[in-house]
Structure 1
Amino acid sequence: MFLLTSASPAVTIEDSWPGYSLDLFSYPAHYAGDLDCVIIPHGVIMDRTERLARNIMDDLGNHDIVVLCVLKGGYQFSADLVDRIKALSCNSNRTIPMRVHFIRLKSYLNDQSTEDLHIVGAEDLSFLTGKNVLIVEAIVGTGKTMKTLLKHVQAFKPNMIKVAGVAFFLITHFSYLSDVGFEIPNRFVVGYALDYNEYFRDLNVSWYKCFII
C-alpha cells in the first residue's frame, strides 16, 4: 500500500524578502564576492527542524521507520532531523525505532536541473517492502527528481511514505511533501550542505543558508 500523509504548513519566506546582510555573519574569505545574502539563519533552521521532528513523532510514534537520506545535499538536514527524533524518543512515552539508508541522486549541472537522473544506492530497496519510509531531502526545486525517486521507491511496495525537506520553492507546490521547513523564493541557494558544483558545502552550517549571486 502506498500512502502519503497530509502535508503540514511550511514557514513562508516571500519573494520580496531581501535576506540578512552578510556583514552580520562570519563566512570563509574564499567565498567573498560569491554570496548575496543570508536567507535563513542556522538557528531558525534548527528550531524548525525540531518542530518537524515532533510532527513526525506525532504521526509515526511507536512505529518502525526507515529513513532514506538523499545525498549529498540532504545529509546535514537528515542528521539534524534524526538527532531530534532520537531526543524526542528518549524523553517521551512514544518512541520511533529507526533504520537509516543512504542513496545519492544527481540531476544538476552547474545551477540547472537536467533531464538525466542518476540514482546510486537504490538498485535494491526490497527491504522497504511493508515499511514506513521517511525520505529526507534538502530542497525540492522543479520536483522532477523527487517524482522519479517516489516512483522508484513505490515499486518496492512500502506501507507508507513521508517526504521531509528543508525547503521548496514558492512557485511550486507538491502534494507529496509531508513535512517541509520553508517555502523560499525561486533563487539558487547554497549552505547547509547545499552546493554549487560541489563548492560551498564547507560553509559554516552553524550560521547561515546563503544565496548565490
Structure 2
Amino acid sequence: MTRKSCIVLPDDYKGYDVDYFCVPHHYEDSLDSILIPSGLIQDRIEQLARDIAVELGKEPFAVLCVLKGGYKFLADLLEKIKQYYRFSSENSVPFSVYFIRLQNYEDNHSTGKVKVMRVDGLSFLQNKNVLVVEDIVDTGKTMQVLLEILEKKQPKSIKVASLLVKRTSSSSGFQPDYVGFEIPDRFIVGYALDYNEYFRDLNHVCVISEHGKQKYSNHSN
C-alpha cells in the first residue's frame, strides 16, 4: 500500500491566535500561536488508525511507543484502531504494546547524539509485524538509529507512524509510513510534546514563543 498523503502546513502558515482556543492559563504568555487545534488532531488520527488497520489486516502486531512524547498519540491512535475493529465487518486483531525511550534534545537544541534510555523486551520483535509510534520526526536521524536497532531483532515487518514530520533543511530524508501532518521548521509544544518537561498538558500543538523558551528554560528552573 502506498503511503497516504499527509496534511501539509505551508511555511507561511501562521496557525490560530491563542485567544481563539482554551489553553491552560499558565501557558497563555508562552505561545506564539496554535498550529494544530486538538479537534483537527483527533480527526486526523482517526483516519491514520483506519489506514493502519486496513494495511495490517488480520495479522496480530506489536506496537512500540517512543517515550515520552509519543504516549498521547499512542493512546489516541490505539483507541481509534480498536473503534475501527469494533464497527467494521473485520474481525478484531490482538496487539501488544511496548515502550522505548530516546533522548536527543536539550532545551530547543538537538544534541546530535541519540541516547537509548529505556528498552522493554525487544525479543518480541522476531517474526512479528511491528508498528513504531512516534510523536514527531525532525531530522529523521533518531528514527534511523532506532530502526537499525530493531532490524537486528529480525521482525517480519516494521512500519512507522508519526503524528508530525518537520520540514527542515537538516532532514536525513527519512519518511514514516504514516504521517498526520507535515509542518514548517518551528519549535512546537503540546499534545505531549515538551520543552524541558513542560507543555505536555497542552491539548493543541502550538508554537512556543521566545518568552516561553526563557520562562521554561533549564537555566530558569
TM-score normalised according to structure 2 size: 0.89
- Residue 62 (1) aligns with residue 58 (2): yes
State the shift of 1:189 in Å: 0.5
Alignment correspondent of 2:5: 9
State the shift of 1:22 in Å: 0.6
Q: Determine the C-alpha separation between the residues in 1 that align with 2:93 and 2:174.
A: 25
RMSD between aligned residues: 1.5
Deviations 1:71-107 (A, max 9, x none): 1000000000000001111122323211011111111
What amino acid sits opposite 2:200 in the alignment?
R
Aligned partner of residue 119 in structure 2, secondary structure: coil
Alignment correspondent of 1:196: 195
Aligned partner of residue 45 in structure 1, secondary structure: helix
- Residue 22 (1) aligns with residue 40 (2): no
Deviations 1:15-64 (A, max 9, x none): 10111001101212222321000011111111110000110111012011
Q: Determine the C-alpha separation between the residues in 2 that align with 1:128 and 1:21.
A: 44
Alignment correspondent of 1:75: 71
Task: Call closer, same or farther: CA 1:174–1:54 in 2, change over 3 Å.
Answer: farther
What amino acid sits opposite 2:196 in the alignment?
N
Aligned partner of residue 154 in structure 2, secondary structure: coil
Alignment correspondent of 2:219: none
- Residue 92 (1) aligns with residue 88 (2): yes
What amino acid sits opposite 1:143 in the alignment?
G
Whether the aligned pair in 2 keeps the contact of 1:166 and 1:181 (CA below 8 Å) is yes
Alignment correspondent of 1:133: 130
Alignment correspondent of 2:110: 113
Structure 2 unaligned residues grouped into runs of 5+: 210-221
Deviations 1:160-201 (A, max 9, x none): 111001111123474541000000000010000000010111
Count of residue pairs the alignment pairs up = 206
- Residue 46 (1) aligns with residue 42 (2): yes
State the shift of 1:121 in Å: 3.1
Q: Determine the C-alpha separation between the residues in 2 that align with 1:146 and 1:199.
A: 23
State the shift of 1:122 in Å: 2.2
Q: Determine the C-alpha separation between the residues in 2 that align with 1:156 and 1:106.
A: 21
1:105-184 equivalent positions in 2, closer than 5 A: 105-122=102-119, 124-171=121-168, 172=171, 174-184=173-183
Structure 1 unaligned residues grouped into runs of 5+: none
Q: Determine the C-alpha separation between the residues in 1 that align with 2:5 and 2:145.
A: 24
Whether the aligned pair in 2 keeps the contact of 1:74 and 1:193 (CA below 8 Å) is yes
